[in-house]
Amino acid sequence: MREIIFDTETTGLDNREDRVIEIGGVELENHFPTGRSIHIYINPGDRKVHPDALAVHGITDEFLKDKPSFADVVEEILDFFGDARWVAHNAAFDMGFVNAELERLGLPLVAGDRVTDTLALARRKHPMGPNSLDALCRRYGIDNSHRTKHGALLDSELLAEVYIEMIGGRQAALGLVTTELGGVAADADDAPILVIQRERRLQTRLTEADLAAHAALISKIGAKAIWAKYGG
């Protein structure tokens, strides 16, 4: 399963009037980073950066003057995302802006069933909060000391680490699960997380010779070997 963990920065809070000025994203394949990323600054045309937004991300009108328009980069953005899931923290905000930009260009919108909101996941897993990106970094021991301003690529990289931790991606388990909207399982703290079982078990890559060699090894270890408990 391919996912893009992404973030946007904008000129303000109203997607009917304000514009996307930065988008960043990192690619996960089966919940592992691939090393591929996207990062683009965007000229919002005649829309100026609101002072409150400037205080958050520090991106000035002057800096954006020579950057491409959304129309100039939309193909690059859509090619990078492809058929992946769009994953964002407070996704309604980011997707509202992305879809508003697509609508202005007469392009198809991103459907809601292709979007994962990590804020909703965090609220289910940690109902007592807080669940901001900074708070989740502290909870999971992720170093965000270099985050003095919001930035789309940096925030995407941090969110990818948080997301992997939230779905238990770094925990070893005998049963494989993938996180999507679906059934409910519990982590070590008994906080609910959303998971779904694979529809079909993966085909084994073990040969008959491999299985025979493994059985022979287990027989030498003895009856108390933990592997014997799981069928050798």
Tell me, yes or no, if 150 is annotated catalytic.
Answer: yes
Distance between CA atoms of 111 and 65, rounded to whole angstroms? Answer: 31
How is residue 196 annotated by DSSP? E
Alpha-carbon span 19 to 73, nearest angstrom: 14
Q: H helices within the chain, ranges in order?
A: 51-57, 61-64, 70-81, 91-104, 118-125, 133-140, 152-166, 208-221, 226-229
Look-up: residue for tokens 């040969």? 207
Instruction: Report the C-alpha gap between 172 and 48 in whole angstroms.
Output: 48
By three-state DSSP, how is residue 73 classified?
helix
DSSP H or E stretch at residue 181:
strand 177-186
Dihedral angle, C-alpha 179, 112, 102, 30, nearest 10 °? 10
CA atoms within a 13 Å half-sphere pointing along the CA-CB vector of 6: 33
Q: CA 27 to CA 117: how far, in whole Å?
A: 16
Among 50, 57, 89, 150, the active-site one is 150
Active site residues: 150
